[in-house]
Amino acid sequence: MLLALIILLPFIGVLLPVWFHRHGRTACAWATALPPALGLVLLFSQAPAVLAGEVRRFSLNWIPELGLNLAFRLDGLSFLFCLLILAIGLLVILYGRYYLSSDDPMGKFFALLLLFMGAMLGVVTANNLLLLVLFWEATSLSSFLLISYWNGRSDARRGARMALTVTGAGGLAMLAGVLLLGHVVGSFDLDVVLASGELIREHAWYPVILVLILLGIFTKSAQFPFHFWLPHAMSAPTPVSSYLHSATMVKAGVFLLARLYPALSGTELWFILVSMVGLITMTLGAVTALFKHDLKGLLAYSTISHLGLVTLLFGLDTRLAVVAALFHIMNHATFKASLFMAVGIVDHETGTRDMRLLSGLRKYMPMTAMLGLIAAGAMAGVPLLNGFLSTEMFLGEAVAQRVLGGWSWVIPVVAVFAKVFSVAYSIRFIHSVFYGPSQPEALPKPPHEAPFFMRAPILILVGLCLLVGIVPNLIIGPLLAAAATTTLASPLPYYSLAIWHGWNLPLLMSMVAMVLGTVAYLNFARLLRLWERLPAVNAMDAFENFVHDVVIVRARQVTGRLENGSLQHYLSLLILGTVVVAASGLWGLERLNGGVPLSALDPPSVAIALIMMVTAIYSAIWHHERIAALMFLSVVGLGMALIFARFSAPDLALTQLSVEIVTIVLLMLILFLLPPRSPNDSTYAHVVRDGLVATSAGIGVGVLAYTVLTRPQQTISDYFIQNSVTGGGGTNVVNVILVDFRGFDTFGEITVMAIAAIGIFGLLDGMRLFDPKKDPNVQWASDKYPLLLLILNMPVLPLALMVAVYIFLRGHNMPGGGFIAGLIVAIALILQYLANGLRWSNNRMQWDYHPLVGAGVLLAGLTGLGSWSFGAPFLTSAHDHFHIPLLGEIELATAMLFDIGVFLAVVGATLLILANLGKLKSLDTASEENR
Amino acid sequence: MSTEVALPVFIPLLAGVLSLMLWRSRKWQRRLAVLATGLLLASTLWLLRSTLDQGYVVMQLGGWAAPFGITLVADLLSAVMAVITGLIGFAVALYSLGTIPDRHEKFGYYPLMHLLLAGVAGSFLTGDIFNLFVWFEVMLLASFALLTLGGERAQMEGAIKYVTLNLFSSALFLSAIGLTYGLTGTLNMADLAYKLSQVEHTGMVNVVALMFMISFGIKAAAFPLFFWLPASYHTPQVAVSALFAGLLTKVGVYALYRLFTLVFVGDTGYTHTILLWSAALTMLTGVLGAAAQFEFRRILSFHIVSQIGYIMLGLALFTPLALLGGVFYLVHNIIAKTNLFLISGLTYRLLGSYDLKKLGGVYRERPGIAILFLISALGLAGIPPLSGFFAKFLLIRAAVEIEAWMAVVVALTVSFMTLYSMIKIWAQVFWKPVPDAVDATRLRSRERDPGMFWLLTPIIGLAALVVLFGVWAEPLYQVARDAAEQLLNPAGYIEAVLGVTP
Distance CA A303, CA B411 (A): 34
Question: Is B13 inside any structural domain?
Answer: no
Q: How confident is the model at residue A927 (pLDDT cuts 50, 70, 90)?
A: very low
> Does the pLDDT at position A926 exceed 50?
no
Poorest-pLDDT segment among A28-37, A206-215, A839-848: A839-848
pLDDT-based confidence at residue A778 (cuts at 50, 70, 90) = low
Chain B residue with the nearest C-alpha to that of A149: B431
Alpha carbon distance A443, A457 (integer Å) = 26
Q: Does any domain span residue B51?
A: no
Give me the residue from B131, B397, B427 closest to A744, CB to CB.
Answer: B131
Nearest CA in chain A to B294: A552
Q: Determine how β-strand B57-60 pairs with β-strand A888-893.
A: unpaired
Residue A3: predicted pLDDT: 85
Does a cis peptide bond (omega within 30 degrees of 0) precede residue B490? Answer: no
For residue range A222-271, list pLDDT tens digits in order: 998 898 899 888 888 999 998 988 888 899 999 999 999 999 988 989 99
ipTM, 2 dp: 0.91
- Do A537 and A400 contact (CB within 8 A), yes or no? no
Banded model confidence at residue A924, pLDDT cuts 50, 70, 90? very low
- Give me the mean pLDDT over the A122-136 stretch: 93
The amino acid at A31: A
Does B204 contact A563 at a Cβ distance shorter than 8 Å? no
Q: Which range, of A96-105, A407-416, A502-511, A706-715, averages the lowest pLDDT?
A: A706-715
Indicate the residue type of B318: F
Measured in whole angstroms, the distance separating CA A649 from the mean position of its chain's CA atoms is 54
Judged by CB atoms closer than 8 Å, whether chains meet at A854 and B408 is answered as no
Query: Contact at 8 Å (CB) between A2 and A42?
Result: yes
* Nearest-neighbour CA in chain A from B452: distance (Å): 24
Cα–Cα distance measured from residue B480 to residue B484, given in angstroms and rounded to the nearest whole number: 6
Residue of A nearest to B149 (CA): A762
Cβ distance A585 to B481 less than 8 Å, yes or no, reads no
From chain A, pick out residues whose CB is under 8 angstroms from the CB of B400: 176, 179-180, 183
CA A273 vs. chain centroid, Å, equals: 32
List the one residue out of A666, A663, A679 whose CA is nearest residue A626.
A679
Asked if B431 and A565 come within 8 Å (Cβ–Cβ), the reply is no
Does residue B10 sit at the A interface (CB-CB below 8 Å)? yes
CA-to-CA separations, B499 to A741, B20, B77, in angstroms, rounded: 19, 40, 20
Cα A673 to chain centroid distance, Å, stands at 47
Predicted confidence (pLDDT) per residue in A585-626, tens digit:
787 777 777 777 888 888 888 999 999 999 998 888 888 888
Phi and psi dihedrals of A930, rounded to 5?
Answer: -75, -20
Is the peptide bond preceding residue B385 cis, with omega within 30 degrees of 0?
A: yes
Looking at residue A881, what is its pLDDT? 64
pLDDT of the residue at B145: 92
CB of B207 within 8 Å of a chain A CB? The answer is: yes
Q: Across the interface, do A65 and B115 touch by the CB < 8 Å criterion?
A: no
Question: Alpha-carbon distance A242 to A54, whole Å?
Answer: 32
Which site among A574, A589, A717, A719 would you substitute to test the B interface, given the most B Cβ atoms closer than 10 Å to its Cβ?
A574
With a cut of 60, say whether residue A922 has pLDDT above it: no
**Contact state of B16 with A565 under an 8 Å Cβ cutoff:** no
For residue A795, CA distances in Å to A723, A792, A903 come to 41, 6, 22
Chain A hits for B134, CB-CB cut-off 8 Å, are: 744-745, 748-749, 752
B228 touching A (Cβ < 8 Å): yes
Q: List chain A residues with CB under 8 Å of B24.
A: 848
Contact A205, A184 (CB under 8 A): yes
| Amino acid (one-letter) located at A27 | A
Interface of B with A in 296-325 (CB under 8 A): none
The answer to whether the Cβ–Cβ distance between B423 and A134 falls below 8 Å is no
The pLDDT value given to residue A351: 85
Q: Which among A846, A874, A875, A877 is the top mutation candidate for probing chain B, defined by the most B β-carbons within 10 Å of its own β-carbon?
A: A874
Residues forming beta bridges with residue A625, ordered by sequence position: A677
- Number of H-type helices and E-type strands within chain B: 23, 2
Nearest to A858 among B14, B211, B231 (CB): B14
Please report the number of interchain residue pairs, chain A to chain B, with beta-carbon separation below 8 angstroms. Answer: 302
Of A63, A161, A183, the CB nearest to B423: A161
Residues in chain B closer than 8 A to A871 (CB atoms): 1
Q: How far apart are CA A546 and CA B219, in angstroms?
A: 35
Measured between CA atoms, how close is B4 to chain A, in angstroms?
Answer: 11
Average pLDDT, chain B: 90
pLDDT value at B46 more than 70: yes
Average pLDDT of every residue of chain A: 85
Nearest Cβ partner of A577 from B23, B178, B214? B214
Question: What is the SS3 assignment for A6?
Answer: helix
Quick check: helix, strand or coil at residue A553?
helix
Give the span between the Cα atoms of A700 and A709, in whole angstroms: 14
Cβ-contact A395, A413 below 8 angstroms: no
Contact A555 B289 (CB under 8 A): yes
Interface mutation target, options A546, A751, A902, chain B, most CBs of B under 10 Å? A751
When pLDDT is cut at 50, 70 and 90, the band that residue A931 belongs to is very low
Give contacts of B233 with chain A, Cβ < 8 Å: none
Q: pLDDT, tens digit, for every residue of A52-106?
A: 888 888 988 888 888 888 999 999 999 999 999 999 999 999 999 988 888 888 8
Q: What span, in angstroms and rounded, lies between the C-alpha atoms of A627 and A630? A: 5
The arithmetic mean of pLDDT across residues A883-912, rounded, is 77
Integer distance in angstroms from the first to the last C-alpha of chain A?
Answer: 92
Does residue A767 surpass a pLDDT of 80?
no
CB contact under 8 A, A872 and B474: no
- Mapping DSSP onto H, E and C, the string for A831-896 reads HHHHHHCHHHHHHHCCCCHHHHHHHHHHHHHHHHHHHHHCCCCCCCCCEEEEEECCCEEEEEEHHH
Chain A CB contacts of B61 under 8 Å are 743-744, 873-875
The answer as to whether B303 is a domain residue is yes
Which has the minimum average pLDDT: A17-31, A863-877, B192-206, B327-341? A863-877
Residue A341: which of A99, A145, A103 has the closest Cα? A99
Instruction: Identify whether the C-beta of residue A287 lies closer than 8 Å to the C-beta of residue A247.
Output: no
Per-residue pLDDT, averaged over B269-275, amounts to 89
Cα distance between residue A240 and residue A343, in whole Å: 13
Reported as half-sphere exposure (CB side, CA atoms, 13 A), residue B305 has a value of: 31
Partner residue opposite B13 with nearest CB, options A552, A751, A767: A751
Q: Which residues of B touch A740 (CB under 8 A)?
A: 62, 64
What was the pLDDT predicted at B307?
94
Beta pairing class for B71-74 and A888-893: unpaired
How many CA atoms lie within 13 Å of A91's alpha carbon, on the beta-carbon side? Answer: 26
Contacts B108 to A, Cβ<8 Å: 758, 761-762, 850
Name A44's Cβ contacts closer than 8 Å, sequence gap at least 6: none
pLDDT digits (tens, 9 = 90+) for A495-554: 877 777 778 888 888 899 999 999 988 888 888 888 888 877 777 777 778 877 776 777
Asked whether the beta carbons of residue A853 and residue B20 sit closer than 8 angstroms, the reply is yes
pLDDT band at residue A930 using 50, 70 and 90 as cut-offs: very low
pLDDT given for residue A274 in this prediction: 94
Among B3, B9, B17, most A C-beta atoms within 10 A, so best to mutate, is B17
Tell me the shortest Cα–Cα distance from B178 to chain A, in angstroms.
9
Pairing mode of beta strands B71-74, B57-60: antiparallel
> Which residue is closest to A739 within chain B, CA to CA?
B62
Find residue B188's DSSP bridge partners.
B128
Instruction: Look up the domain containing B402 and give its range.
Output: 267-485
Q: Give the number of other Cβ atoms within 10 Å of residue A460's Cβ.
A: 16
- pLDDT, residue A179, reads 93
Chain B residue with minimal CA distance to A863?
Answer: B62
**Chain A contact present for B383, CB below 8 A:** yes
CB contact under 8 A, B431 and A717: no
Residue A562 is predicted with a pLDDT of: 67
Tell me: pLDDT of A444 over 50: yes
In angstroms, rounded to a whole number, what is the distance separating the alpha carbons of residues B92 and A798? Answer: 47
A169: chain B residues, CB-CB within 8 Å: 416
Cα(A800)–Cα(A811) distance, integer angstroms: 16
* Position A875, amino acid: L
Check: CB of residue A740 under 8 Å from CB of residue A877. yes
- Dihedral angle computed from the Cα positions of residues A732, A736, A742 and A743, in that order, rounded to the nearest 10 degrees: 130
Task: Express each pLDDT in A795-819 by its tens digit.
Answer: 888 898 888 888 888 776 666 778 8
CA distance B365 to A840: 59
Using a CB-CB cut-off of 8 Å, the residues of chain A touching B185 are: 713-717
Residue numbers in A near B135 (CB within 8 A) = 748
Q: Is A924 exposed, middle or buried (0-12, 13-18, 19+ CB in 10 A)?
A: middle
Q: How many domains does chain B have?
A: 1
Beta-carbon count within 10 A of A422 CB: 28
C-beta atoms of A585 and B203 within 8 A: yes
Under a CB-based contact definition with an 8 Å cutoff, are residues B232 and B288 in contact? no
* Chain B stretch 55-114, residues whose beta carbon is closer than 8 A to a beta carbon of chain A: 59-64, 67-70, 72, 107-108, 111-112
Predicted confidence at residue A307, as pLDDT, reads 95
**Residue B97, C-beta contacts closer than 8 angstroms, at least 6 positions apart:** B30, B33, B34, B454
A319-350 and A386-400 helices cross at what angle (nearest 10)? 140
